[in-house]
Structure 1
Amino acid sequence: MNATPFSGIDGSDHAVLLLHGLSSSPLELRFLARLLADEGFATHTPELPGYSAGTGHQPMEQWISAAVAEFDRLAARHRHVSICGLSMGATLAAAVAHERPAARALLLLSITLNYDGWAIPWYRFLLDYVYYTPLRSRYRYREQEPYGLRNEALRSKIARAMQKNDISEVGPAFIGLPALHEAGRLAGSVKKKLKSIGTDCLIIHAIDDETSSPHNARFVGTTIGASFLRTIWLDDSYHMITSDNEREVVARECALFLRESVAATVSSHNPAPVVSRALARRLRQLATVARKA
C-alpha cells in the first residue's frame, strides 16, 4: 500500500485521516492537508488498494478495512484522530467512523450518497444494469466539464490535464464501472448506519454541486446520530470544494471545527446551519421567486 508521508507539527496530539474521492489520488486534498498541517494538525492522506487510482479493483469492504487500518495506525501515535473525506471519500469516512466510534470528529465534504447533481447524465441509472453484462470490464465513465469546478481558469487547466493524463488534481479522467458499482454498495451501507454514528460531525456542501445534490448533505444532517453537528453551505463552488473558489473557507472551517470538537462538551443542542451573507441573500431571492410562481 502506498501512502503520502505523515505531515504536520511533530508531536501533535491531533491527527486527521484524509480520504480522497473514488479512483482518485491524494492530490485532491493537498491544499487542505497543507493548511491543517500549518495549523498544527498531523495529517495523513493514504492511497487505499482497490479504491485509489492505479491500485486495481477490490470490493468496498476492503476499502473500509484499509481505511480503518490507517485510522488505527494514527490512533497508536496520537491522542485524537479525526476523519475527513471528499466526495465518495466522505462516504468512506462515515463508514470508518461507524467502525471506530472513538474518532474525535468526522468531516464530510461534498458527501456523495447518490450521484444526483445537475451535471450527471440522464443515463447514469443504466450503468447499474450494465454492470451485470460483459461490458462491465470494458466500460469506463468519462468525467466531463465542469470537472467539479466553478472557477473557470482552473477548469481550463484541468481540461488540458485530463486530455494528457488519466488523473488530475481534482480527480480521474475515467472511472471504471466496477468501482462505481462498489461505490453504490458503500453508499447504501452507510445510509443504514448513519443513525448509529455519534461522532462530532461537520458537513460542508455546495448548493450548486453538480455531482451530488444538496439532498445528500441534508439527508446526512437529518439522519446522523451526532450530538455536535454543523452544516455549512457554500455558494461559490461546485463539487470539488477543496480546490474551487472557497477552498480557503473549507480549510479554515475544518480546522475550526476540529478545535471546537476537542474543546466542546457533548451537547444535545445542534448549532444552526452556517451560511454566508451572499448565500443568505440568494436564498431569500429564491424564496421570493417561489412565492411569486
Structure 2
Amino acid sequence: MPLLPGAEPFRRPGGPVGVLLVHGFTGSPQSMRPWAEHLADAGLAVSVPLLPGHGTRWQDLQPTRWEDWYATVETAFEELAAECGQVFVCALSMGCALTLKLAEKHGDRITGLVLVNPSVRSDNPGTVLLPVLRHLLPTLPGVAGDIARPGAVEVGYDRVPLHAAWSLARLWRSVQEGMPAVTRPVLLLHSPQDHVVSPRNSATVLARISSTDVTELLLERSYHVATLDHDAGLIFGASLDFVRRLAPAAAVDAGNHSG
C-alpha cells in the first residue's frame, strides 16, 4: 500500500545525542515531524519510525499487534543507540505506552523520557467488550485529529480497527504492570482538554513510575495531538531544554548546528 502523504518515517543524523520519537495509535510520523525537525536543527540525531500497520489504510492495522509496534520501536532505538552516546525517547499518546515499555526493558540505556498526553489505560467502559466485539465489528469511528488549532491536520485513520484496539488494551495492562521499573528522568506534558485520553492517564503514569526526576507541564491551549497544536512550541522548547540539562554534549554540539 502507498503511504499517506507525510506518513513516511524520518531520520536525520546528528551529534552524539540522539532522540527517538514515537507516534500514536492510528497516527503516523507526520504528527512528530515538526518536533523531530526542531530537535534535529539543534544538532541532535533524530529517528521517527513508522509503526507497523500505520500510515496507509486502517485495514493494514487490523492484523498487527502491540508486540509488532514495540519491536519496531526497539529496533529504531538500537539503531540510534549504536550511533549515539546518549539516547532520549519522546512520544505521543500510545507512543508513550511503547516508550514506557522500552524504559522498563532498557532503562539503563535511556537518558530521559518526554511523554505527551500518554495513553496507558482505558477511559471507555466498553473496552472490556473488545475481546468479543472485535469478532463482530471491524471498526469504530477514529480518534485522529483532536487538535484545537484551526487548519492543523493530523495524518491518521478515520476508523479504529478493533482487533488492533484489543491489542492496545493488552499493551496498557502490560505497561501498567511494568511502570514501577521505570526510573529514568521524565518530562510529562498533558492537555487538560483532551478528547481522546483522560487526565487519569497522566495521573497513572506519575503515580506508578519510580522516577525521582519528574517534571509535569500543562498544555492549556491544546487538545490531544498537542505536537501539532497551539502548544507545540512549548513542547519543542521544553524537550530541548530537558535534553540539554541531562546531556551536556547536546548543548555543546548545538554550536556546530546553528541556524
SS at the partner of 1:17?
strand
The change in CA–CA distance for 1:14 and 1:190 in structure 2 (over 3 A counts) is same
Partner of residue 234, structure 1: 219
Distance in 2, Cα, partners of 1:127 & 1:194? 21
Provide the C-alpha distance between the structure 2 equivalents of 1:199 and 1:85, rounded to a whole number of angstroms.
15
Equivalences, count: 239
1-structure distance, mates of 2:77, 2:93: 19
Note if 1:188 corresponds to 2:194.
no
Q: Out of 236-245 and 61-70, give the one that drifted further.
A: 61-70
Does residue 104 (structure 1) correspond to residue 107 (structure 2)? The answer is no
Whether 1:126 and 2:126 are equivalent positions in the alignment is yes
Q: Tell me the equivalent position of 1:163.
A: none
Q: CA deviation at 1:49?
A: 2.2
Q: 1:154 aligns with which of 151, 168, 183?
A: 151
1:95 aligns with 2:101: yes
Contact 2:28–2:51, Cα closer than 8 Å, also in 1: no
Instruction: Find the residue that maps to 2:227 and give its secondary structure.
Output: coil
Out of 8, 29, 32, the residue aligned to residue 29 of structure 1 is 32
Q: Structure 1: where are the runs of 5+ without partners? A: 117-123, 159-167, 264-293
1:6 matched to which residue of 2? 11
CA deviation profile, 1:256-279 (whole Å, cap 9, x unmatched): 11111224xxxxxxxxxxxxxxxx
Q: How does 1:45-194 map to 2 (within 5 A)?
A: 45-50=48-53, 53-54=56-57, 55-56=60-61, 57-101=63-107, 102-116=109-123, 124-133=124-133, 136=135, 138-143=137-142, 147-151=145-149, 153-154=150-151, 158=153, 168-169=154-155, 171-194=156-179
Query: How far has the Cα of 1:62 moved from its partner?
Result: 2.6
Question: For the residues of structure 1 that align with 2:67 and 2:10, how far apart are their CA atoms?
Answer: 25
Q: How does the TM-score come out when normalised to structure 1?
A: 0.75
SS of 2:230 mapped into structure 1 = coil
Match of 2:255 in 1: none
Q: TM-score, normalised by structure 2?
A: 0.84
Counterpart in 2 of 1:245?
A: 230
Q: Deviations over 1:81-137 (max 9, x none)?
A: 111110111111111111111111111111012343xxxxxxx4335425425x537
CA displacement at 1:65 relative to structure 2:
2.2
Percent identical across equivalent pairs? 24
Instruction: Name the residue aligned to 1:19.
Output: 22
